[in-house]
Each structure stands twice: as C-alpha cells, then as structure tokens.
Chain A
Amino acid sequence: GAGVSQSPRYKVAKRGQDVALRCDPISGHVSLFWYQQALGQGPEFLTYFQNEAQLDKSGLPSDRFFAERPEGSVSTLKIQRTQQEDSAVYLCASSLGTQGQPQHFGDGTRLSIL
C-alpha cells in the first residue's frame, strides 16, 4: 500500500506566522511519530501518538508547538508564531504499534522561516 504521506513538501513562512504540517500514515499503523531534523543532524523526537492518544510530547521544544491526531489516522503538527530557529525538516513516521517495530518515514516537510 501507500507509504507515509506528508504535505506540504516545502513551506516558507514569515516569522510570526502560524503553520500546519500534515501527515497521513500507512494504513493500519497505530503509532505515529513526529521528528525534527536540522541540517547534518539525526532526527530529534518531538511527539508520538498511539491511535488518537498523544502518549509522549516531551520533545516539543516550546508551547508554540502543538500536535493532534483526532481520529487516530491523519495527524497535524502546528507551530504558532514561528521563529527562525523553527526552520528544519519535519519528519513523520508510522509503525504497527508494538514495541520494537520499525518506523517508516514520510518524505518530510522542509520549513523555512524568513
């Protein structure tokens, strides 16, 4: 079936604007993860969902970051009042949901804040 789908692929916003990034996981995948990847670095965990429940949001860098997955499928990562340091690639991954299962990544959204 289809892989993890993210949109938009690229987003340019002015500092202070709000942005919303969308992730559509692999069908049947219970767990959904958001990561932030800076240039030349590995992905850094932001938050994770098991179905519609947000089980861990310890990686969200500030209260300007908010994620939801209301029906246990599509997820949205919202960043309010964007800052230049928010510029990064935002990766979404999904997995079957049991511990130890590999995660499969979408193509990411490259966010640039001017």
Chain B
Amino acid sequence: QKEVEQNSGPLSVPEGAIASLNCTYSDRGSQSFFWYRQYSGKSPELIMSIYSNGDKEDGRFTAQLNKASQYVSLLIRDSQPSDSATYLCAVNMPWAGNMLTFGGGTRLMVKP
C-alpha cells in the first residue's frame, strides 16, 4: 500500500462544474497536507495547505481534511479549462522531518 494514494484519473468534468479530487494517506499521525497543481512539462505549484480538520477555502478552491478517516480532498468550483492539470496531494509524515510524501497525482480535464 502506498503511503499517499490518489486516483490517477483522468477525471473529466464539464466547464462550470465542481471537480472533486481525493487523497488518502497511511500515517494517522500526519499533520500537514498540501495540494499542488502541475501543468504538463511544468513544476508543481502550491495551491492549498491545510493542517486542521474541516474545510479551508481560497477562492474557487476548498480543501477538506478528515484526520479520523485519513483523507484529504480538493474541490474546485466553477471549473475552467485552465484548471486542466495534474493535481498532486502531498503529506508531511510525522517520522519524515520536513520531507513530503507525494501521491501519484490525479489528472483533471475540464471540457469547454
């Protein structure tokens, strides 16, 4: 079992819809969680960080964290074609110092 798991997709949604991306992690003691967006051929770009249970909203993005169930999700409202990218979930495991463990990423396609 991988330490951080994501569905590889592609997840296809129509323009204007809500895209829901999910991530599960293995270490219950993890405290810090990040979502990165990666366009093809580009480097990962931080879009959200979340540390506490519940929801955190930033513009069209909402991160949701449930530590009891060991999952973190990212919702993108009013999806745009420019949101088409791979979304990487990253977790700071408690044994890992400052190192992040990444999932394999979910490819999102927003169709006009």
| Chain A neighbourhood of B105, CB < 8 A | 40-42
Chain B contributes a number of interface residues (CB within 8 A of A) equal to: 27
Pairwise interchain contact A42-B103, C-beta atoms closer than 8 A? yes
> Which residue from B8, B49, B104 sits with its C-beta under 8 Å from A102?
B49
Q: What mask results when residues 1 to 44 of chain A are scored 1 for a CB within 8 Å of chain B, else 0? A: 00000000000000000000000000000010101000011111
| Chain B neighbourhood of A95, CB < 8 A | 98
Pairwise interchain contact A45-B101, C-beta atoms closer than 8 A? yes
CA separation between A75 and B6, bound complex, in Å?
A: 31
A72 contacts B by Cβ under 8 Å? no
Q: How large is the interface on A (under 10, 10 to 19, 20 to 34, 35 or more residues)?
A: 20 to 34
> Which residue from B4, B8, B32, B43 sits with its C-beta under 8 Å from A105?
B43
CA separation between A5 and B32, bound complex, in Å?
A: 25
A91 contacts B by Cβ under 8 Å? yes
**B6 to A: closest C-beta gap in Å:** 8
CA separation between A99 and B29, bound complex, in Å?
A: 13
A: residues with CB less than 8 A from B are 31, 33, 35, 40-45, 48, 50, 55-56, 91, 95, 97-108
